[in-house]
Amino acid sequence: MRIDDRALEALTEVVREDLPRFGRYRLVRELGRGGLGVVWLARDDSLQRLVALKIVSPEHRGEAQVTARLQHPRIAAVYEAGEGYIAMQYVDGRSLEGLTLPPKEAARVVRDAARVIQFAHEKGVVHRDVKPGNLMLSGDDVWVVDFGLSALRGAIAGTAAYMGPEQAAGAPPAPGDDVYALGATLRRLANGRGLEVIVAKATAEPARRYRTAGELADDLDRFVQGRLARWARRLWLPLAAAAVVAAFVLRPSDASRVEKAHQQLGPARQLVDEARLMLYKKGAAFSESFFKSLDKAAAGAQESLALHETSEGRYLLGRVHHLRGSYDEALAEYERALARGRSGPVLLAKARAYVDQAADAIAAGDEAQATWLLASARRIFDDVPGLSRRMKEAAIESELTEAWRRLAEGGAADWCAARVDRHEEFALVLGLAHLRAGDPEAAIGAFTKAIDARPNYWQAHLYRGAALEALGRRDFAQMEYDRALAIHPRYAKAWLARR
């Protein structure tokens, strides 16, 4: 979408000289993040235009080559790709994440997205991560964004809630993966009845699924135009017959399916627990095998949920998203788990996701957003009497929430100093408080204490690098940024700082 001169002039007033830079790009605000990088709204000073700047690790630059092949009016164009970044056309709109729409509007949106996906398929590109968060509305126009996973090979990739069984099982990418994801997206967006038949056909087994995204778009177009009678019988009867056969002939008993679903969760739970332990394991490094383990865990949880919907399965998916740093998706799964019954561990995980989001907001200078997120975390502890007494971990998390709240409001130093021996995160917050107060030497001491307690604390290495840079010791700062990246190669803030 072209940004008119008036909008650009208005935004330029916000771009202060003290905002961080990435090469010739001036970073305005963070637009979003995922497993493959962070996207910033940035201004290209040399050409005086807004761009979406995606900070990625070098092995993910293939996204630029893939997207550059897709010259389509509803796919953001690639302007430039360099070491650790991709500069793309900025789409002034909002994603569909979290929205519910009337049936006809949901059908229109997914129809238009399916047309774009069909175009990509004709160019030999499978998106692999179609979901509401990767669809954007700009006025009435629907854009498809983030083709990052289309460039990856040899790994289970995608968002578990929108992955078909064959994609979750690690089969090679195929257009049917995107058709299934479009159907799952339609199911999530539509607020009301009328689209069940189309959703069922889009998410059916491969032999009964729409052959192409274009076919799906055609049926959605008929629905939007109100031509229901001409095609409903054609779609519904084969699906209904298949459902009857599956129910009475092909499916195992409910008890068997439930048992198999719980069996599927065991290995997935073990993979997530092992990944979490790596946060504290001395000398741990988050190589691609770490993320592949999370992909396998997500696939296992999704297979379990396909057999039998459980709170534990949703909680497990949330933990996977949380470990990847996808906090919005983690929160969505925690909400689905809690909808099936309150659970101390799920409530605690939800509060932690809010705190982790708030930490990112504080680092980006958005104290207002951080305050709201921390208040949301605090409400969990306040609304569930006895949570901190029942769970030892909840007691410390409650205090850590308070530490971040005090940091956002500017008064965390003394409070955290009295608690640094209890948990390394108090030392991290204390270091940030010193850094904000203009005392980088004291900050280095606090960050060092945090690293001594958790040697693979990549955030502490990043911030210790920032403190060293504030003292003018840029060579040592570079070493800290490199250390953060050695531990966590996908840590976008470290790539940005290193740049």
Among 251, 267, 293, the domain-final residue is 251
Query: Do residue 118 and residue 234 come from a single domain?
Result: yes
Phi, psi dihedral angles at 95 (to 5 degrees): -75, 165
pLDDT, position 245 = 44
Query: Do residue 164 and residue 186 come from a single domain?
Result: yes
CA 113 to chain centre: 20
Q: Which 8-state DSSP code applies to residue 101?
A: B
Q: The sheet that has 94-95: what strands, in order across it?
A: 94-95, 135-138, 141-144
Q: What is the mean pLDDT of residues 1-29?
A: 59
For 319-346, letters b (16+ CB in 10 Å) and e give: bbbbbbbbbbbbbbbbebbbeeeebeeb
Helices and strands counted in the chain (H then E) = 22, 9
Other beta carbons within 10 Å of 178: 32
Q: The sheet that has 78-82: what strands, in order across it?
A: 21-22, 25-34, 37-44, 49-55, 85-89, 78-82
For 183-216, letters b (16+ CB in 10 Å) and e give: bbbbbbbbeeeebebbbbbbbbeeeebbebbbbb
Residue 158 φ/ψ region, left for φ over 0, alpha for ψ in the -120 to 50 degree band, beta for the rest: left
Choose from 3-12, 61-70, 333-342, 353-362 the range with maximum mean pLDDT: 353-362
The token pair at 370 is 């951080």
pLDDT, position 129 = 87
Whether the CB-CB separation of 415 and 403 falls below 8 Å is answered with yes
DSSP string, 190-211: B-SSS-HHHHHHHTS-GGGS-S
The token pair at 100 is 């519910």
Q: Is the pLDDT of residue 34 over 50?
A: yes
Query: Do residue 76 and residue 203 come from a single domain?
Result: no
Q: What is the mean pLDDT of residues 404-413?
A: 89
Model pLDDT for residues 393-407, shown as the tens digit of each residue: 777 888 889 999 999
177 occurs within a structural domain: yes
Q: Is the pLDDT of residue 6 over 80?
A: no
Among 92, 107, 135, the domain-final residue is 92
414 occurs within a structural domain: yes
CA–CA distance, 471 with 441 (Å, rounded to integer) = 8
Query: Do residue 212 and residue 176 come from a single domain?
Result: yes
pLDDT, position 282 = 62
The token pair at 112 is 């238009």
- CATH number of the domain residue 177 falls in: 1.10.510.10
Among 205, 236, 251, the domain-final residue is 251
Query: Do residue 19 and residue 152 come from a single domain?
Result: no
The token pair at 320 is 């996977």
CA–CA distance, 448 with 465 (Å, rounded to integer) = 11
Which DSSP helix (H) or strand (E) runs through 30? strand 25-34
pLDDT, position 12 = 47
pLDDT, position 250 = 40
The token pair at 104 is 């006809």
257 occurs within a structural domain: no
CA 218 to chain centre: 30
Whether the CB-CB separation of 125 and 174 falls below 8 Å is answered with no
Residues 6+ apart with CB under 8 A from 461: 447, 451, 480, 481, 483, 484, 487, 494
CA–CA distance, 383 with 9 (Å, rounded to integer) = 45
| Spatial CA neighbour of 129 closest among 95, 178, 165 | 178
Q: Is the pLDDT of residue 439 over 90?
A: yes
Dihedral of alpha carbons 430, 432, 434, 440, sign: positive
Query: Do residue 147 and residue 72 come from a single domain?
Result: no
Q: What angle do CA 79, 84, 85 make, to 5 degrees?
A: 25
Which domain does 448 fall in, by range?
410-499
Query: Do residue 190 and residue 65 come from a single domain?
Result: no
pLDDT, position 61 = 56
Query: Do residue 237 and residue 109 come from a single domain?
Result: yes
CA 120 to chain centre: 22
- CATH number of the domain residue 487 falls in: 1.25.40.10
Number of domains composing the chain: 3
Choose from 157-171, 251-265, 353-367, 381-395 the range with maximum mean pLDDT: 353-367
Query: Do residue 36 and residue 151 come from a single domain?
Result: no
Query: Do residue 87 and residue 192 come from a single domain?
Result: no
CA 209 to chain centre: 27
Q: Which 8-state DSSP code applies to residue 421?
A: T
Of the listed ranges 149-153, 174-178, 358-362, 367-371, the least confidently predicted one is 149-153
The token pair at 52 is 């979406």
The token pair at 268 is 């997935």
Model pLDDT for residues 106-122, shown as the tens digit of each residue: 999 999 999 999 999 99
Whether the CB-CB separation of 477 and 3 falls below 8 Å is answered with no
Whether the CB-CB separation of 51 and 42 falls below 8 Å is answered with yes
Query: Do residue 148 and residue 210 come from a single domain?
Result: yes
Of the listed ranges 1-5, 146-150, 291-295, the least confidently predicted one is 1-5
Radius of gyration for the chain, computed over Cα atoms and rounded to the nearest angstrom: 24
Q: What is the mean pLDDT of residues 34-40?
A: 71
CA 308 to chain centre: 25
- CATH number of the domain residue 37 falls in: 3.30.200.20
Query: Do residue 133 and residue 243 come from a single domain?
Result: yes
Other beta carbons within 10 Å of 232: 16
112 occurs within a structural domain: yes
Q: Is the pLDDT of residue 62 over 70?
A: no
The token pair at 387 is 């949570």
Whether the CB-CB separation of 99 and 219 falls below 8 Å is answered with no
